[in-house]
């Protein structure tokens, strides 16, 4: 691998990135694939923070639609799900010899450190992979918004948004074979066209912080390394 393009990146992995396509829960093979790629990023000299989602277990909004469980309660359950994912990723990374810290937005001192910005920066500078769990710590937000927030405050150069398709399309490429992929988009275009790649809060935050977003296919082998090397894959969203 040549010189990496980025010094510090935030990688957003959805919960569904950690299970088999269309599945739920955790799949060790998928987690190991991501861990191997993440280890290589740090070995290449790039500082890496990973924001994990929790949708492979719970989405607060979906759960609350069935009644009984309040939206806020469901959201907290979703945030706890991200912590489960973070721990699985941490042990897998450390088995590969990659030093890792889990930092949670909701305190759970027995299993992880609380998220403290300056501490997160220190871990990154020491070459540790920092897994950012518990979302923003607030209900009614998403882990995409958490990724935009952490990328902003940790001064990452790019937010890598891993998805199960090749980038941002005119329509859902899984359902519509005529859907066309965008190579480049502006934040404004994503907001105006409501392209649904990330929630609008996340896009707005990246726009305000001028953090480029690269949307790419996680399930294609080698893609994380390609983005880090500066290859133009997926869709790049900038001002
Ligand atoms: N969540 C939340 N606040 C946050 C981040 C997440 O309330 O800051 C909850 C919310 O219920 C969400 C769930 O955690 O549905 C899982 O996160 P998300 O849907 O972003 O996960 P992903 O789709 O990336 O797997």
Q: What is the DSSP string of 139-150?
A: TT--HHHHHHHH
Strands (E), the chain: 8-13, 47-52, 100-104, 113-114, 129-133, 158-163, 168-169, 181-182, 184-186, 213-217, 235-238
Q: What atom in ligand 1 is closest to the CA of residue 72?
A: 7
**Per-residue pLDDT tens for 4-57?**
999 999 999 999 999 998 899 999 999 999 999 999 999 999 999 999 999 999
Q: For residue 162, list its beta bridge partners.
A: 216
The answer to whether the pTM exceeds 0.75 is: yes
| Every domain of the chain and the residues it spans | 8-232+234-238
Which letter does DSSP use for residue 96 in this model? T
190 CA to centre of ligand 1 in angstroms = 21
Q: Which fold has domain 8-232+234-238?
A: Carbamate kinase (3.40.1160)
**End-to-end CA distance of the chain, in Å?**
29
- pLDDT confidence of residue 174: 87
Check if 75 has its Cβ closer than 6 Å to any atom of ligand 1: yes
């Amino acid at each position: 691998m040549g010189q990496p393009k980025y010094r510090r990146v935030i990688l957003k992995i959805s919960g569904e990135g950690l299970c088999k396509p269309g599945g739920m829960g955790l799949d060790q093979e998928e987690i190991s694939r991501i861990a191997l790629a993440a280890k290589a990023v740090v070995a290449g000299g790039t500082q890496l923070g990973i924001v994990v989602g929790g949708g492979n277990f719970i989405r607060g909004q979906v759960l609350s639609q069935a009644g009984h469980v309040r939206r806020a309660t469901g959201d907290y359950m979703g945030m706890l799900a991200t912590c489960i994912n973070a721990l699985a990723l941490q042990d897998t990374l450390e088995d590969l010899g990659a030093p890792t810290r889990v930092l949670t937005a909701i305190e759970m001192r027995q299993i992880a450190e609380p998220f403290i910005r300056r501490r997160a920066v220190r871990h990154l500078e020491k070459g540790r992979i920092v897994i950012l769990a518990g979302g923003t710590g607030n209900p009614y937000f998403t882990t995409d918004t958490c990724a935009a927030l952490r990328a902003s405050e940790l001064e990452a150069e790019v937010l890598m948004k891993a998805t199960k398709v090749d980038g941002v399309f005119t329509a859902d490429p899984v359902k519509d074979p005529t859907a066309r992929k965008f190579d480049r988009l502006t934040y404004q275009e994503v907001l105006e066209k409501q392209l649904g790649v990330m929630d609008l809060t996340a896009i707005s935050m990246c726009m305000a912080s001028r953090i480029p977003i690269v949307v790419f296919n996680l399930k294609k082998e080698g893609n994380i390394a390609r983005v880090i090397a500066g290859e133009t894959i997926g869709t790049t969203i900038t001002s």
